[in-house]
């Protein structure tokens, strides 16, 4: 029997049992529309790329990281003593930020292409779930080195869930493992970061990607309105996948440059008795709600202000979530326009409060 015959018999054997031909047909059927906004289709793939980097570098960090009272010392060893430990740590931290940045760009591009409309509503909901989980990944990971910045930023950050009425203080205490941020908190954040969050994130990501494969990429309404003969598209496999790989290569270069030229710093070991360093603030992706709560707190001091702030943030999130029910395919042109302006206002509000936040902690 020739090698070719052996290979085709082996393929048939596996195909009969696992249905490879159906899988290959499912992979091949996806088409990617080609138009002047096609560039924005890369951002979901870029988010995926940075997530893969997170998994690979995270596993390497796990080899030497020790949660609990020894956390700071283990990160110090990774950064100073282990061969290329500093680079792996730097890649993990930079890629975490680039991943959240890519997810945010991806979310707004999906929004402005109106890709949340039927039949892609679940893509929108699962995507928002992924963004929320990615932010909790970032928040829990930030504490793990237990340097002074991580310690104080987490203390400040945990004040946000603590403002939720009734259950807030209970949630904050549960996350902290007591009334103070200490080695028990690191232990909990570690479990969250490497077990609970991946266990939630991975199936949700699988669902999200399956939906994209099932429905294909949405074309923006202006392209959908064209006659069929004028709409162009290319197959995802292999044509667009090759372009995606090209973008991943560019992303890898940018990440490597950032991680090597600006290695991620490790501050002094945390000291709960020391005064908080000046200008303590949460990560950039939490700056907007943080600043909004501060602004409202300045106008309405005390519990009322905290409640009003949390209420406003939650209403904004809820409105963002239900957009696919408001701006549907059959919605009027007025609704479509209003939704577009709502998106522009959201970008402006997030940018404005973020810049103001950095300005006020200078
Ligand atoms: C880690 C987070 C995420 C990953 C890895 C991811 C990945 C992807 C990928 C690879 C695609 C196909 C390529 C593309 O259209 O860009 C996609 C499409 C999509 N994503 Fe995400 N995504 C994430 C978060 C989000 C978020 C936050 C939203 C919105 C709230 C979202 C909503 C969608 C929708 C509606 C589509 C279909 C777009 C279309 O049909 O053109 N995703 N995602």
pLDDT tens for each residue of 47-93: 999 999 999 999 999 999 999 999 999 999 999 999 999 999 999 99
CATH architecture of 40-219+233-280: Up-down Bundle (1.20)
Mutate to test the pocket of ligand 1, among 48, 100, 127 (most ligand atoms within 8 A of CB): 127
Q: Percent of the chain having pLDDT more than 90?
A: 85
Task: Give the model's confidence band at 128: pLDDT under 50 very low, under 70 low, under 90 confident, else very high.
Answer: very high
The answer on pLDDT for 159 being more than 90 is no
Mutate to test the pocket of ligand 1, among 115, 119, 208, 323 (most ligand atoms within 8 A of CB): 208
The pTM of this model reads: 0.94
Asked if residue 131 has its Cβ within 6 Å of ligand 1, the reply is yes
Class of 281-362 in CATH = mainly alpha
pLDDT in the model for residue 168: 84
Task: Give the model's confidence band at 213: pLDDT under 50 very low, under 70 low, under 90 confident, else very high.
Answer: very high
pLDDT in the model for residue 175: 92
Render 42-79 in DSSP notation, one character per residue: HHHHHHHHHHHHHHHHHHHHHHH---GGGHHHHHHHHH
User: How far does the centroid of ligand 1 lie from the alpha carbon of residue 360, in Å?
Assistant: 34
pLDDT tens for each residue of 174-210: 999 988 999 999 999 999 999 999 999 999 999 999 9
275 burial class (0-12, 13-18, 19+ CB within 10 angstroms)?
exposed
The answer on pLDDT for 164 being more than 80 is no
Q: Are 361 and 280 spatial neighbours (Cβ–Cβ below 8 Å)?
A: yes
Q: Any idea where the domains of the chain sit in the sequence?
A: 40-219+233-280, 281-362
């Amino acid at each position: 029997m020739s090698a070719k015959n052996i290979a085709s018999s082996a393929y048939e054997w596996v195909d009969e049992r696992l249905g490879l031909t159906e899988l290959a047909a499912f992979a091949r059927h996806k088409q990617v529309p080609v138009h002047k906004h096609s560039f924005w289709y890369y951002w979901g793939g870029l988010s995926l790329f940075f997530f893969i980097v997170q998994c690979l570098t995270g596993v390497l960090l796990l080899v030497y990281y020790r949660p609990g009272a020894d956390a700071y010392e283990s990160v110090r060893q990774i950064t100073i003593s282990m061969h290329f430990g500093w680079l792996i740590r730097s890649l993990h931290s930079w890629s975490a930020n680039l991943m959240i940045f890519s997810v945010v760009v991806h979310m707004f591009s999906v929004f402005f292409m109106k890709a949340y409309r039927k039949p892609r509503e679940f893509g929108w909901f699962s995507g928002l779930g992924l963004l929320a989980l990615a932010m909790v990944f970032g928040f829990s990971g930030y504490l793990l080195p237990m340097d002074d910045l991580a310690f104080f930023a987490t203390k400040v950050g945990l004040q946000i869930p603590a403002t939720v009425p009734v259950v807030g203080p209970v949630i904050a205490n549960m996350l902290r493992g007591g009334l103070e941020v200490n080695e028990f908190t690191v232990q909990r954040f570690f479990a969250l970061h490497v077990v609970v969050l991946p266990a939630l994130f991975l199936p949700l990501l699988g669902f999200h990607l399956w939906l994209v494969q099932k429905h294909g990429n949405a074309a923006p309404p202006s392209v959908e309105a064209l006659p069929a003969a004028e709409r162009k598209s290319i197959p995802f496999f292999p044509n667009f996948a090759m372009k995606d790989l090209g973008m991943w290569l560019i992303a890898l270069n940018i990440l490597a440059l950032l991680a090597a030229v600006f290695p991620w710093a490790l501050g002094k070991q945390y000291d709960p008795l020391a005064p908080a360093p000046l200008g303590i603030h949460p990560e950039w992706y939490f700056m907007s709600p943080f600043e909004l709560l501060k602004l409202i707190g300045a106008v309405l001091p005390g519990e009322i202000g905290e409640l009003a702030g949390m209420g406003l943030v939650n209403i904004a999130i809820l409105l963002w979530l239900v957009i696919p029910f408001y701006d549907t395919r059959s919605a009027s042109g007025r609704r479509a326009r209003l939704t577009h302006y709502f998106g522009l206002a959201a970008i402006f509000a997030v940018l404005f409060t973020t810049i103001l936040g950095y300005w006020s902690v200078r």
